[in-house]
Amino acid sequence: MDQIEEHRARWDTEEGVAVAVVKAVAEATNTDPFELEPLHSAMDTGVLDSVAESDSEYQWRLEFEYAGVQVELVGTGDLTVTGFDGR
């Protein structure tokens, strides 16, 4: 298995956090975004959008697995993809 190098991206509520996650995972894994499993199979995208759009004064971080990689979202707009490619 080849380790995927850490891939960093940014997300914003204008583009949508779900779109940013799919784009970042597609880039990190060199996969067409349309070939990835639907994001909602790994994460409730409604909850994801609600958390991302919240005006919380507290810093938050969310980690989950999607398409065989680890995704980390931070309330500052940072998005990191790491993991292993088993394909």
Average pLDDT, the chain: 87
More reliable by pLDDT, 52 or 32: 32
What span, in angstroms and rounded, lies between the C-alpha atoms of 22 and 2? 20
- Domain range for 20 is 2-85
What strands lie across the sheet with 61-66, from one edge to the other?
Answer: 2-10, 78-85, 69-74, 61-66
More reliable by pLDDT, 41 or 2: 41
Domain count, the chain: 1
Q: Which residue has the tokens 């970042």?
A: 24
pTM: 0.85
More reliable by pLDDT, 86 or 41: 41
- What percentage of the chain exceeds 70 in pLDDT? 91
